[in-house]
Amino acid sequence: MADAVYQPRLLMLATLSCAYPGADAVGKARLEYYPNVHILGVPAPVMFPKEFYLRTYAKGFDGIIIAACGSDCPYKNAYDQLAARIDDLVQDMKQGGLEIARIRTTAICTVCIKPFLKEVEEMKEKLAPLGPVNREIAATLWRAEREAMKTRAAQVA
Amino acid sequence: MEPTPNPLESPDQPKIGVYICRCGGNISDYLDTEKLADTVRGIPGVTLSKVDTFMCSDPGQDRIVQDVQAGLVNRVVVASCSPFLHEVTFKAAVRRGGLNPYLYTHVNIREQGSWAHGHQGDAATQHALHMIAGGVGKVRHLQPLDKIRLPSHRRVLVIGGGVAGMKAALDTARRGLPVLLVEKAPQLGGRSLDLGRVYPSEQEARELVKRLEKDVRAEEKITVLTGSEVTAIGGFIGNFEATISTGSEQRTDAIGAVIMATGFTPYQPPEGEYAFGHSQVVTLPEFVKALRDMPSGKTLTWNGKPVRSVGLMHCVGSRQCEGCFQPQPDGQLNDYCSRVCCTSLLRNAVELRSRFPETQIYDFHQDIRTYGRGQEDYYTCASDQGVTFFRWKGEEPPVVTARDKGGLAITVKDQLTFGEEIEVPVDLLVLGVGMMPGPIADLVDQLKLPVGADRFLQEVHPKLRPVEVAVAGVLLAGTAQGPMSIEESLEGASAAAAKASILLAHDYTDLEPFVALVTPDLCVGCNACVEECQYAGAVTMEAGPEGKSVATVNPGLCKGCGACVAVCPTRAIDVQGWTLDQFDAMIDGMTDEALRVPATQG
């Protein structure tokens, strides 16, 4: 295993109404993808603050795919709110020197077997030349965001 | 509500039990489940790990119950199939052991493990280990939760007044629940009204409708609204609200559960498919209706012409091969079997032979699927009565052309004579058209109903939860779910009625407690959550102690999306059961470099 090809460690935030059953459908069809993909079922990715993503990179995930429901989102306006958060995150990553290819938002439905496999494969190919995430940079960005949150809280108090 | 303290739970000292399922080889043939169990035992807080061939079996579940009762574990992780199958099962086991069922985490190492990476050796087992470590991370942070109890309306809405809808309404009402039965057409009965005698009982379909309708009309708990449509519907289990329009009149009703008995639409062949459009080509439903009202004789007559021979074509609009047929507007073909056409065609062949003995019958099929009780008899009987069978391959459907001297010619590569090409002249061709989903896009959209690859409404699980859909409180009856016979539709209807009665057995509904909760001590009163929330009244600022404003959640209005969580600067607000601390702990587990499964030797 010493010469193993680098396989980016991927986190997929998969909505329980759409993308998570979509990932199940891929397995049920016995279609394989590379095993360094960690699927995390979530009610709605709109719940994650910027610092969650930054911390996740700092812990060593090389890429994050947000697999949402798109227009099938069961929650009011959540998809737009999510898009605004990710825009904000991308700005921070750009400024802080973290490759923005490491984040991707997409929609995967409950029977979207082919799109699922395509997303995973494309993300893998996009991240392979970048190599492992720079955890130091990510940790610095994460700490800065935690400080910014503290400042916001202090301003109210 | 303060959860009752439970000595077994001791939140400060997690004792985590990890149970790994072999799934009878579905997991253990690909992942090294024994090594997984050995390795997870090294994670801090894990007090025991076990492997079982079927965790979902009674002995498997009993392992959890016994370990909890013995005080060996107070947090449980099961690594097995998708949580959509057995999370409920194992939560119930945790509860039977005496723990709060929410002190449980499910890890999917089958659909998203062995089945997805099964041929990738140690890497697949290593992946599963990290997924389990994520689950262990989460379970350590879980808190006991109680379901949210809301009052529910003990009243059922049945949409569709065909045989399935009437049966569902009757069975529900006879259990004591008031029912609203809404039918679009001016009369009850649906598509059965157009049928003649039906298999396997040879009963007149209209007699069956009449009997059901008589019972429905006599049942005082059923309100029948014909010529009516559900024009708007929303809400959740126990608390739906439906707007029903009858002509220009509208009414709004509070409903606890909804039974979808919306039926099907027969496949309508495009012009030219098997010469459809020719005066001597007819679909099975039209033919059945005409045959029913026709006097018997020596020879069948159609459009004033004697019919010496009839062709019966199977699989019209069903089991369609790619490239052979025109797809539906969404680009899809109907690749499913419509299940009733084989028996229905053969039943009518038998009727034709006995009522019009001088009319010959030629049957063109891919397969004969007379699958149900008593159905094979129709095939035997048709054979005995001289019906001639031709079998075609799915990718080579017969070709039908109009003949100059009248009638039609059917050219078939007959598999029963080893692929010989045969031209069969017929005076009439009956197309055994399949079933398509009914026009219910609005209801699907408003209730967020799941639809399968065949575009029919989809049940949660074909065996374990066959008439429920993923939307709680909505049940399926009859062909809204997929092609089925009258017999099967009625079975489905009775099952849906039983389920609805269970759901509404009490005047309250318990909902999952996965809604936002504020830790008042951490709240700084910045109002960000209130501004971010899209549901009016779900989170508001209330006066707290010492005149401080504190965010407060109304659990009945909160949908649990967590939009508020992302904007809180202090993590004061979280969705219960899905907190950010829990997610952080999962990430930590998934990226724990110290966790390695020993490599397989050789």
Average pLDDT taken over every residue of chain A: 93
Residue B52 in domain: yes
With DSSP H G I counted as helix, E B as strand and the rest as coil, what are the percentages for chain A, rounded to 5?
A: 55, 15, 30
Closest CA to A25 of A90, A143, A116: A116
Per the CB < 8 Å rule, is B116 touching A33?
yes
Q: Concatenated DSSP letters for B46-76? A: EEEEEEES-TTSHHHHHHHHHHHHTTS-SEE
- What mean pLDDT do residues B341-357 have? 97
Q: What is the structure's pLDDT at B5?
A: 61
CB nearest to B588's CB, from A1, A17, A59: A59
Which residues, 6 or more positions from B590, have their beta carbon under 8 angstroms from its beta carbon?
Answer: A11, A38, A61, B130, B131, B133, B134, B137
B38 lies in the same domain as B131: yes
A9–B contact, CB cutoff 8 A: yes
Q: What is the structure's pLDDT at B602?
A: 52
Number of domain units in chain A: 1
CATH assignment at residue A151: 3.40.50
Domain enclosing residue B68, as ranges:
1-147
Pull the structure tokens for residue B92.
Answer: 């119930």
B105–A contact, CB cutoff 8 A: no
B429: confidence class by pLDDT, cuts 50, 70, 90? very high
Q: How far is CA B151 from CA A127, B248, B447, in A?
A: 51, 32, 20
Residue B532 in domain: no
B257 lies in the same domain as B327: no
Residue B315 in domain: yes
C-alpha triplet B202, B207, B208: angle, nearest 5°: 75
Report ipTM (2 d.p.).
Answer: 0.97
Contact A43, A13 (CB under 8 A): no
Which phi-psi region, left, alpha or beta, contains residue B299 (left: φ > 0; alpha: ψ -120 to 50)?
beta
B358 lies in the same domain as B426: yes
Within B27-182, residue ranges assigned H as helices are 33-40, 58-69, 83-97, 115-117, 122-140, 163-173
Q: What are the pLDDT digits (tens) for B267-280?
A: 999 999 999 999 99
A17: confidence class by pLDDT, cuts 50, 70, 90? confident
Indicate which of A38, A48, A109, A155 best probes the interface with B, i.e. most B CBs within 10 Å of its own CB: A38
- The region of weakest confidence among A98-107, A129-138, B453-462 is B453-462
Residue B548 in domain: no
B376: confidence class by pLDDT, cuts 50, 70, 90? very high
Instruction: Compute the distance between CA of residue B537 and CA of residue B288 in angstroms, rounded to an integer.
Output: 57
B7: confidence class by pLDDT, cuts 50, 70, 90? low
B79 lies in the same domain as B139: yes
A47: confidence class by pLDDT, cuts 50, 70, 90? very high
B588–A contact, CB cutoff 8 A: yes
B280 lies in the same domain as B428: yes
Q: What are the pLDDT digits (tens) for B63-97?
A: 999 999 999 999 999 999 999 999 999 999 999 99
A1: confidence class by pLDDT, cuts 50, 70, 90? very low
Q: What is the DSSP letter of B23?
A: G
Instruction: Compute the distance between CA of residue B13 and CA of residue A46 in angstroms, rounded to an integer.
Output: 32
Per the CB < 8 Å rule, is B116 touching A32?
yes
- What mean pLDDT do residues B484-490 have? 97
Domain enclosing residue A56, as ranges:
10-156
B48: confidence class by pLDDT, cuts 50, 70, 90? very high
CATH assignment at residue B201: 3.50.50.60
3-state secondary structure B291-320: HHCCCCCCCEEECCEEECEEEEEEEECCCC
Nearest CA in chain B to A50: B566
B202 lies in the same domain as B131: no
Pull the structure tokens for residue B345.
Answer: 């065609």
Number of domain units in chain B: 3
CB nearest to A43's CB, from B568, B575, B591: B575
Q: How far is CA B520 from CA B146, B434, B560, in A?
A: 19, 60, 18
Average pLDDT taken over every residue of chain B: 94
- Between positions 450 and 469 of B, the ones with CB within 8 A of A are 450, 452-453
C-alpha triplet B400, B406, B409: angle, nearest 5°: 25
Residue B24 in domain: yes
Within B141-218, residue ranges assigned H as helices are 163-173, 205-218
Backbone angles phi, psi at B243, to 5 degrees: -100, 125
Q: What are the pLDDT digits (tens) for B450-478?
A: 888 889 998 877 887 899 987 889 999 99
What's this model's pTM, rounded to 2 decimal places? Answer: 0.73
- The region of weakest confidence among B114-128, B207-221, B531-545 is B531-545
B187 lies in the same domain as B109: no
B84 lies in the same domain as B26: yes
Which residues, 6 or more positions from B134, have their beta carbon under 8 angstroms from its beta carbon?
Answer: A38, A40, B107, B585, B586, B587, B589, B590
B10: confidence class by pLDDT, cuts 50, 70, 90? low
Residue B370 in domain: yes
B318 lies in the same domain as B400: yes
pLDDT at A28 over 70: yes
